[in-house]
A and B are shown apart, each in its own frame.
Chain A
């Protein structure tokens, strides 16, 4: 088989790769990389030098409990937000004005105002309507800062996730819908088996970004007395006035985001295998 091919097409050596030049860009790249490596080394030496086992013993358990609060809060909100985002994205693309407009207004409000303000309004704002909430039997829910935080974060992320989902579904060419229709597939089947698998490839990166933004955004939750990683950091700082409390928090946040980035990379490699050439 190969001999037939080589008779028709003359065998050729691949041309040698051109020697890489030391361009200004490449030098600048190395300089910047060196700078970052030095900064990281400097930070590591500082943390090693400032190591205080008494401080660690006293505040490490607080950091762990704060970290658990942060992760729980983001995980629950992202999952509930994902559930909520599907009907919102559907309503947003609907031709029915009575569905499309409320969905648009919802997304407009939650993307257009700060998460801090939303959290504050839900906890302290609704808290001032206690008699009305009690009449509706909702006070047991709104009484707890934790539930208020989950609610605020869920509503916020649902708006963003709905837009991610809508954009991804609309990015799939119309021909895919038409092709499925010509095969006699039901609309829901088309969505489930043809459109969503393609849309989710587009949506994966924005979803990853949204989770990362939520992790960092969750640092405001201490204003409603839920002590997350950032809240515990502030508390430790207020007792010690030692800046390494903040550096440790930054390192932990960085570690979470880096782990997440690797997971998303891994998922992307798996779901785009058929696109590799």
Chain B
């Protein structure tokens, strides 16, 4: 009895060592994302992460032959969490901006879609210029390129900052705000749902280079040039081998990569 228990202990220890060895062979990469920004990254009712960002991340990891693990993190704290080594890369529709570049490094863009203004169907807002929206209340998610744009552009409007996109949508439905500013694909995704039936796109905004940047990129800690180059190569590879198009067509009717 005693001998057999020793043997089984030794066997299980050996098995454990083998498993660890196998896990080490496959490099692990932790990807931080928000999980509240459909159709790019979103938590389903049963806690699964889904969306364009998630599919792209999985495709990139497959291309780079690494194992990926997702970590969800509130938007406000996502850059500090990357710096604190809670994860190794942010794939969360983060626009490449100069302010953020002082804190993190970015890969090349992996998509670029224009921002837009959404409003209730019976709105009298005719366009997306500052004059069109003067005197109106505009909702936007805080700490985003869209909030930076709205606060800089719509100076004659009341710009209200919300913690996530979910909350400005609630206030758009109940009429507390007259319009909202976000990425056109995010807004279109929402308009297609039952809740979004209240509203329509008023128009798209021409991106401003200084505010919106060249598009959404993958953020990594500064100085990790090797990882950045691997991501860049992987982005180019999935663009070339049709994997990107496959994912793109699952979500959009146009090429989200932009020109």
Residues of A whose CB lies within 8 Å of any CB of B are 124, 127-128, 130, 143, 145, 222-223, 225, 227, 231, 234-235, 237-241
User: Which residues of chain A come closer than 8 Å to B76, judged between CB atoms?
Assistant: 234, 237-238
Q: Quick one: CB contact mask for B165-192 with A, threshold 8 Å, 1 for yes?
A: 0010011011110000000000000000
Our pick among A124, A128, A130, A241 for the contact of B80 (Cβ within 8 Å) is A241
Q: Are B143 and A234 in contact (CB under 8 A)?
A: yes
User: Which residues of chain B come closer than 8 Å to A145, judged between CB atoms?
Assistant: 160, 176
Q: Are B167 and A124 in contact (CB under 8 A)?
A: yes
Given contacts A222-B163, A234-B76, A241-B79, contact A128 B174 (CB under 8 A): yes
Q: Which residue of A lies closest to B168 (CB)?
A: A225
Q: Would you call the interface of chain A mostly helix, strand, loop, or mixed?
A: helix
How many whole Å from A100's CB to the nearest CB in chain B? Answer: 36
Residues of B whose CB lies within 8 Å of any CB of A are 76, 79-80, 99-100, 102-103, 139, 142-143, 148, 160-163, 167, 170-171, 173-176
User: Which residues of chain A come closer than 8 Å to B176, judged between CB atoms?
Assistant: 127, 143, 145
Q: Would you call the interface of chain B mostly helix, strand, loop, or mixed?
A: mixed
Q: Which residue of B lies closest to A223 (CB)?
A: B163
Q: Are B161 and A227 in contact (CB under 8 A)?
A: yes
User: Which residues of chain B come closer than 8 Å to A235, judged between CB atoms?
Assistant: 142-143, 161
User: Which residues of chain A come closer than 8 Å to B80, judged between CB atoms?
Assistant: 241
How many whole Å from B158's CB to the nearest CB in chain A? Answer: 10
Q: Are A225 and B160 in contact (CB under 8 A)?
A: yes
Q: Which residue of B lies closest to A235 (CB)?
A: B142
User: Which residues of chain B come closer than 8 Å to A240, judged between CB atoms?
Assistant: 99
Could you list 13 examples of A-B contacts with CB < 8 Å? Answer: A124-B170, A127-B170, A128-B170, A143-B175, A222-B142, A222-B163, A225-B139, A227-B161, A234-B76, A234-B143, A238-B76, A239-B148, A241-B79
Q: Are B143 and A241 in contact (CB under 8 A)?
A: no
Q: Are A130 and B163 in contact (CB under 8 A)?
A: no
How many whole Å from B220's CB to the nearest CB in chain A? Answer: 15
